[in-house]
Structure 1
Amino acid sequence: MFTMKLRKVTAAAAAALVLSLTATACGGDDNDSDTGSGSGGGDKIKIGIKYDQPGLGLKKPDGSFSGFDVDVATYVAKELGYKPDQIEFVETKSADRENALARGDVKFIAATYSINDERKQKVDFAGPYLLAHQDLLVKTDSDIAKGTDLNGKNLCSVTGSTSAQNVKNDIAPKANLKEYSGYSECIAALQSGTVDAVTTDDSILAGFAAQSQYKGKFKLAGLKLSNENYGIGVKKGDTATVDKINKALEKMVSDGSWDKAVKDNFGPANYKNEPAPKIGDIVQ
């Protein structure tokens, strides 16, 4: 009799333990989601951006962020279920973008991230969400109207940039190339007259030209020297997140938020942007 009672008690305890563990496991899943519940009690999403590109991704002195990439990332995060105060922006420099995604440091990256075949071997891309072009930024009274006008002129870009080398190798072999550590230094050199032109993506140049201290001083040459399809980078294999981001980007275009973001961030530079690209439409 005693043995039978013990067996019954043991079975009941085991059943209770299983139920307890099941409830705990379910509760843990609810509180540890990174796919976007928005109301998940303190859930955060980490998004990679640039910190030093006015008009695209800029960390301001007060700690806030501004720029077209920031606006796109914030809109996408909202569609994934996150409020602005649940977003943590993480600086992702160009050389570390693939590693940041592979390590899981960020959920996705919106940082002038051009889609190309080499990068697609390492990460997946949503978008594109902007078609940019390599261009020149010159003073408003400059007579530089085409690439060959750079022969004998001083051309600036950042150290290691392919943009300036492309111009020197293919368009203006007699241009005097000057390289600085950042585009801010190139812009300062353009303002002082040390250089005659700065080259990189037109969106980046427009972002600098749109700053209040430079308003009316610079213009884009509008040469369209290359096509740069900006995509949102996602960890390789995370197709579910890619699909969600693509739907968010389509909605951003359809409800007018995309156009507003372009105007807000690039308007003062009179940036003649391309229309919003269709998802998956890569311009070669």
Structure 2
Amino acid sequence: MAGKFELQGRHGKSRVRVSRVWRRPAAAGGHVIVEWSVAVSVVSDCLPSYTSSDNSAIVATDSIKNTVYVKGKECTEVVSMEEFAVILGRHFTSLYPQVSEATVTIVERPWERVVVDGKPHSHGFKVGVEKHSTEVIVKKSGSLLINSGIQGYSLLKTTQSGFEGFVTDRYRLLPDTRERIVATEVTAWWRYPFEHVSQLPSKPFCFTQRYQDVKKVLSETFFGPPDVGVYSPSVQNTLYLMAKEVLMRFPDISSIQVRMPNLHFLPVNLGSKENPLVKFADDVYLPTDEPHGTIEATLSRPMSKL
């Protein structure tokens, strides 16, 4: 309490950019590089720093920033961003008696290994597009939450999509269709079932591989078989099937939240009856994302919350 009021505070450091290289020999897969933007936020018993001039319990945000680099140096073996976030969270909640909780958020810049003459390069990389992200919450009690996600995953198919049978009223202008382009930029977050640091596997759990697995399942479900595809009656239905397939395929994921804006490709018709410049025949479109539809949902196993 601060006088007549209840005071809660937290502090930390955001946008701490760190890159780590593990220089493995080519026979062991070659070098590994990661580039992360790290944010750390701690709940700390340092309320006198807010209400008076007593800063004695504050872990300075500069010290928090320095810790990110120290822990990066100490990781002599390759770690995933989820593992690194747990390392940071456990550090702050165990080293400092006044810190009761740490939230660590990391977004990765996706450096991908290049392929030269059909072979993965031992130390050559290019920047990808979609981003792997994580948010980890560690409490002093050992309580743990691990969420991982993907951002900016752009998917499009030129057929096998429609939208019909929706509400008809005075505001409706959109006609029914069974033939359209469907495009989206997927953002997904999924939660792992580990609720305490003691539940983390003794054998390192490959969060990075699971991220790649989820990414693959999302795209395969969206597109369907390569020769015939799969029909999508709505973005809502496709989103649900994508989320459902992730939970069915991976029992170590307890829930998943998916957001899929409907990025529009509008048919182009130009001209008049007397001068038809462009007559649309499922060929020429105006791509636009302003405005765009927004569809999102969360799918969970029983007793699971995201």
Query: Which structure ranks higher in relative contact order (CA pairs < 8 Å, sequence separation ≥ 6)?
Result: 1
TM-score w.r.t. the length of structure 1 is: 0.23
Task: Report which of the two has the higher share of helix.
Answer: 1
The alignment's TM-score, normalised by the length of structure 2, stands at 0.22
